[in-house]
Chains A and B, each alone.
Chain A
Amino acid sequence: MRYLLLPALLLAAPAFLPAARSHDSNPMGGAGDFEEGRRLYRIHCGVCHGMEGKTGRGARLARRTYRHGNSDAELFDLIEAGIPGSDMPGLWLEEDDIWRILLFVRTFAEQAGEACEDGAGDAASGELVFNSQGGCLACHTVGSEGGRLGPDMSFAGESFTGEELREALLEPASQVARLYRAVRLVTKDGERVEGAWKNENLYRIYLMDRSENLRSFRKADLESLEFPSQSLMPAYGGVLDEAALNDLVAYLCTLRGGREEDAQ
């Protein structure tokens, strides 16, 4: 095989409309179907979406709602036809096998939801921590408010488990998304800049600085360029007490987007 990345579909090609389904809801439900769905998922989906639907270059599946559809029929069509204009290909499989894959994929969402609701904190107090005491809003967006240096938290409750959120708060460097890696540089003019990595090539590096300016630097103009192992986000273990951390996780678990435009 040449490589496995980038299977893509044509935009606006009527030829790729999904074929007819004989059911609107998943007719599969047996243990054998589930196991077969797991097996097929591993072969066809796991490379991009991760074996537990949490990691990879594809969309995170361990969430309760999806951007492109949530009903059985919608998800069947997505798996069967792919998402035009994205790297998500359609699968050339029998109808029953697609339903079996969906049967397995649905369990990701259940796990995600349960985990994120399982906190001991108070969400209302957590919102106060997020907006004031913790200073989170300075760098993270929720809905239409907040900063842009860090990842958008509007879907935190869908995208992460409570455990993952807690770990991110205590050890923020453990899993930093690629687009938010810390960059520290000094120009030959003596300017020191720290920010979040946005792009890089042989000639230049692009970042968002602490003041949310998108900036570009020629590597030839730099005295030094570092990628610190620490995250731009402080570790909150020494900043917030246990109760405040619980409250914060509880609040984050309530963030599940909402309006379609927020999802974009």
Chain B
Amino acid sequence: MNRTALPCAMAAILALASGVRGEITIEDLVRDPEVGSDWLNYHGGYSGHRHSLLDEVTASNVGGLRMEWVFQERIAEKFEVTPLVHDGIMYISVPPGDVYALDAETGARLWRYSRQLPPKLIACCGLVNRGLAVLGDRLFMATLDAYAIALDRKTGRLLWESKMIDYRLGYSGTLAPLVANDLVMVGTAGGEYGIRGFIDAFDVATGERRWRFYTVPGPGEFGHDTWAGDSWKSGGASIWLTPSYDPDLNLVYWGVGNPGPDWNGDVRLGDNLFSDSVVALDADTGKRKWHFQFTPHDVHDWDATQVMVLLDREYRGRMRRLLVTANRNGFIYMLDRVTGEFLRATQFVKQTWAVGISEEGRPIRRPGMEPSAEGIEVFPAVAGGTNWMSPAYNPDTGLLYISCREGSSLYFKGETEYRPGTRYWGSMFVNETTMHNWYGAVRAFHPVTAELVWEHKLFQPAWAGLLSTAGGVLFAGTSDGFFKALDVRTGDELWHVSLGARIQASPMTYEAGGRQLVAVASGGALFTFALPRSEPRQR
């Protein structure tokens, strides 16, 4: 850790305690799911609903949306960020290691922080960053060189930086951190490089590391015996998406990535905990309360890094605290989030690898669906039935919306050998992109029964997340660059615009200048939309 600004640490603590006007308190973050004019967490609120109470834009008037402003950078990398907004200021991370504060009403730049990164970074899927976390007077970011850092929210000045681990071994930080209580939590990406995944929690004020949880258990730890031999040392199980959090239970729900090597499991016989699992950790101590593994001994690269949606709904006659998540392996799961008890799993896209899910929640595999030297076609494709793009939950309709990916891959298996900092895949895949089986869809499900209520087909499988609003509008994006508005009740399309590049981020909405704006990243730019003002205006 580099304590560059200890005086600021004290100021932050004071701000947390007193709720200084304009500052962001834990109470602001906990005020969830009532996400209104501000957007203070990657998911909007802690529960992973990506739903906003703003209702100026409605199903009736959304057809009048116009572009308000656009932010562009001179880079070839794609934006995957969900912006944060507080008090009319927007904060975004920009590849590979920049942070901007923008006027949320006009897009004007207020400050920029630019991280000096080493010459060679190791990232499987682009030099991306998905966003920031905020508390008090500071912003937090995970960096591609595997640090957690804190910035002054007013100036962009670096306050502290804490090294997670040596990035040259294949580790990186790409997720938007989570702030809970007085800790900022990050995890490490690098599941394709033979890392040993972990989650770190740092003191928001000082950057001191308070705890670490290894997603691949070491000797003597629970789950270590699910890894053959020394395979745990390079078992992957990366962390690259912001978890959901239940402040009442003080549990953080982390979706964990694939085991390594991806497509050849021979060297890692066993279930390979906690790869492809959700682990519920005590926010203060990092102790595991429970875990549930969706895909034991995965050989298809089906990370469980999808959003964990926290709902309180009636199930079998009584109210339950639920965790619902659509997994990359093609099933929607419902768990009791207090205990981790498996309640139900339902197929939501075409899949050919499992006969079903047992009463204990374990997949019943169809024989012969493992990768082979000749290649085997399996549904879903390597990117899964859905992926890290956000689902949305609308409390008015009671529906859960998921961006679904239909299609298959040819999965190959080959030999691979661990070498620090290099790809550790165990061969490869080829997507079967024939027209008949390769498409996307936004689908609305009843979250408890997993009953399909409506479907809006997309031309291609999407990488864009969804945003639900109290105005009755569901925003969605497509891989051919369309940003569109759907009716939350029917899925009917209400509006669309072409942004000119694949949308590989999840949209959000906020209020600035007295109006509701909707923001989404596309390509290397961030676009915002609003209804035209009724009266002439000056800027």
A and B from one assembly? Answer: yes
A residues whose Cβ falls under 8 Å from a Cβ of B: 1-12, 15-17, 19, 39, 42-44, 46-47, 84-85, 90, 92-93, 200-203, 227
Known: A8-B77, A42-B414. A2 touches B119 (CB 8 A): no
Q: B423 and A44: CB pair below 8 A? A: yes
Q: Which residues of A contact B303 (CB under 8 A)?
A: 1-2
Interface presence of B406 (CB below 8 A): no
Give 1 or 0 for each of B77-102: 1 = CB within 8 Å of chain A CB: 11000000000000000011000000
Q: A93 and B76: CB pair below 8 A? A: no
Q: B422 and A2: CB pair below 8 A? A: no
10 CB < 8 A contacts A-B: A6-B125, A9-B127, A10-B75, A11-B76, A15-B118, A39-B415, A85-B76, A200-B459, A201-B480, A203-B496
A182: shortest Cβ distance to chain B, in Å? Answer: 13
Q: B423 and A11: CB pair below 8 A? A: no
Question: A8–B95 Cα gap in the complex (Å)?
Answer: 11
Q: B120 and A3: CB pair below 8 A? A: no
Main secondary structure of the interface of A (DSSP, over half): loop
Q: A10 and B425: CB pair below 8 A? A: no
Select A3's contact among B383, B459, B478, beta carbons within 8 Å: B383
Question: A90–B119 Cα gap in the complex (Å)?
Answer: 11
Known: A1-B258, A39-B415, A201-B482. A6 touches B382 (CB 8 A): no
Q: A1 and B262: CB pair below 8 A? A: yes
Q: B459 and A43: CB pair below 8 A? A: no
Q: Which residues of A contact B423 (CB under 8 A)?
A: 43-44
Q: A42 and B427: CB pair below 8 A? A: yes
Q: Which residue of B lies closest to A55 (CB)?
A: B430
Most chain A C-beta atoms within 10 Å of own C-beta, residue among B123, B125, B414, B496? B125
Residues from 99 to 120 in B contacting A, C-beta threshold 8 Å: 117-120
Q: A16 and B480: CB pair below 8 A? A: no
Q: A2 and B76: CB pair below 8 A? A: no
Q: 4 extra interchain contacts, Cβ-Cβ under 8 A, other than A7-B123, A10-B96, A16-B120?
A: A2-B240, A3-B383, A7-B125, A93-B422
Q: B480 and A9: CB pair below 8 A? A: no
Interface presence of B53 (CB below 8 A): no
Select A201's contact among B95, B117, B301, B459, beta carbons within 8 Å: B459
Q: A202 and B76: CB pair below 8 A? A: no
Interface presence of B458 (CB below 8 A): yes
Question: A4–B430 Cα gap in the complex (Å)?
Answer: 10
Q: Which residue of A lies closest to B168 (CB)?
A: A92
A43: shortest Cβ distance to chain B, in Å? Answer: 6
B347: shortest Cβ distance to chain A, in Å? Answer: 22
Q: Which residues of A contact B425 (CB under 8 A)?
A: 43
Question: A10–B75 Cα gap in the complex (Å)?
Answer: 6
Q: B119 and A15: CB pair below 8 A? A: yes
Q: Which residue of B lies closest to A181 (CB)?
A: B435
Q: A1 and B119: CB pair below 8 A? A: no
Question: A17–B119 Cα gap in the complex (Å)?
Answer: 8
Residues from 298 to 320 in B contacting A, C-beta threshold 8 Å: 301, 303, 305
Q: Which residues of B contact A11 (CB under 8 A)?
A: 74-76
Interface presence of B177 (CB below 8 A): no
Q: Which residues of A contact B430 (CB under 8 A)?
A: 47
Interface presence of B387 (CB below 8 A): yes
